[in-house]
Amino acid sequence: MRRKFPHFRAFDRLRRPYVAVMIIVVIVCTALIYATDGDYSLPQTMYSFAHICLLVGLYWHPTYCACAIIALSIAAELAPEAMFMKQLWCLWLAAGLLGYHRRLRMAFSLLLIQTLIMMMSLSDQHQMDDWNVPGVLSFNIICAIMLVVGYALAEHQEADRLRRKAQERERLAIEQERLRRDMALASRIHDSTTRGLALISLLSEECITDSANAKLPDVLKERITLIGSTARSTLQDVRKVIDVLNRDERDERDADAKGESTSDEPMESMLTQLLADNDKHMAAIGVQGSSVMTSSASSALTVSCIDRETMQEVRDLINQMYTNIAVHGARGTDAYHVRMELTDRALRIREFNAIGRTDDRLHTGKGLSMHRTRIMAMGGILHTHGEDDIWTLQVEIPIQPHTSSHSSSFRR
């Protein structure tokens, strides 16, 4: 939090530090006027002391003390056979605080009475020997200006408070609209996607059961089994998304903390297994290729050492990369090559595949563009290029340390 007065720690504990500073300055001016005036009589001493006491009280009771300061000045003009020094700074501060607290009628009434009393006292040379009509008018006009300035400052702060309140209401309205949209998305995903995936999973199980009697080839049985396992895995991922859409941000962080990112599995092993699983899926649909993983990272680099968002993006990007090969790539052997390099600082991916005929029913054209946006926000790069029927993908993702205590086990 930014300090209001970086060089004076004592002011940080005050609710109204600026008022306190102005009061201190005026108290110093009042004491200097008393000290330089040369009149140390008992009435003058009591008059100055009363002003200082009222100035101190301005911090806790600004309205009452400000009115008392102006009233004391009026009473001093009516005192017979006595001449008191006009406490200009006290009166200006009192007028400004009355305006700040919106006591306009009271303040203008007191200033008007003060002006009339001072004008009437001009004939008494003993009481007003240093004043004239222009001086009296100028002094009280300045008091009125201070009153208006205090009121304008209060109105400005009130307008700023109302503006922030309106912005907060707008932000809450946007947040509520987003929550309603997420609930609608969760409902649509649940009603359509989960139904279709569950049906695929059940049908694959029926096909496996029937294949025992139909004597299907083992390759076909493996493909049917893979269809079922892929549908069930995808169904679990969809349900996780639905849970996130139906939970608040704190529940989402708690769920993620208990999930994948807290694993102590080495990063290299996780990526190697992910590549092997995707190679297996690609081979099942007739696309043969190679995926190679190399690592120069420390053995202490585990999944728990990586920032949760970075870890999720790595998994999603790799799966999306193989999905694009299946949708856009050519069939046959040696159809794609994936080279992945892991260091303590970054993960680099280079992928090449032969371009085939795209199935428009499976093509959305938004996958890599969304990944590019997220990776660039992390400080990484994602480049794609197509030439001579060869598609090239180059990615570099910075490895971000996890903010939890798990990251303490990894030191670069």
Residue 44 buriedness (CB in 10 A; 0-12 / 13-18 / 19+): middle
- How would you label 195-218 residue by residue, b for 16+ Cβ within 10 Å and e otherwise? eebeebbeebeebeeebeeeeeee
Q: What is the pLDDT of residue 212?
A: 62
Query: Of 79, 109, 131, which one is at a domain's C-terminal end?
Result: 131
CATH number for the domain including 356? Answer: 3.30.565.10
What is the chain's length?
412
Q: What is the pLDDT of residue 411?
A: 43
Query: Of 131, 160, 185, which one is at a domain's C-terminal end?
Result: 131
Q: What is the pLDDT of residue 149?
A: 93
DSSP state string for 201-213: HHHHHHHHHHHHH
Q: What is the pLDDT of residue 405?
A: 41
Backbone φ and ψ for 351, nearest 5 degrees, come out as -135, 135
CA 325 to CA 285: how far, in whole Å?
11
Q: What is the pLDDT of residue 373?
A: 87
Instruction: Identify the domain containing residue 284 by its residue range.
Output: 262-412
Do the domain assignments include residue 326? yes
Query: Of 71, 101, 131, which one is at a domain's C-terminal end?
Result: 131
Do the domain assignments include residue 160? no
Do the domain assignments include residue 229? no
pTM of the model: 0.49
Ranges under pLDDT 50 in the chain: 1-2, 5, 7, 126, 249-250, 258-261, 405-412
Contact 98, 107 (CB under 8 A): yes
Do the domain assignments include residue 361? yes
CA 293 to CA 314: how far, in whole Å?
14
Do the domain assignments include residue 18? yes
Do the domain assignments include residue 409? yes
Q: What is the pLDDT of residue 301?
A: 86
Do the domain assignments include residue 214? no
Q: What is the pLDDT of residue 262?
A: 53
Closest CA to 57 of 27, 102, 95, 14: 27
Residue 70 buriedness (CB in 10 A; 0-12 / 13-18 / 19+): buried
Q: What is the pLDDT of residue 79?
A: 75
CA 125 to CA 130: how far, in whole Å?
8
Q: What is the pLDDT of residue 407?
A: 43
Do the domain assignments include residue 378? yes
Q: Please give the tally of structural domains in the chain.
A: 2
In the block, residue with structure tokens 């002006």: 115
At 302, the amino acid letter reads: T
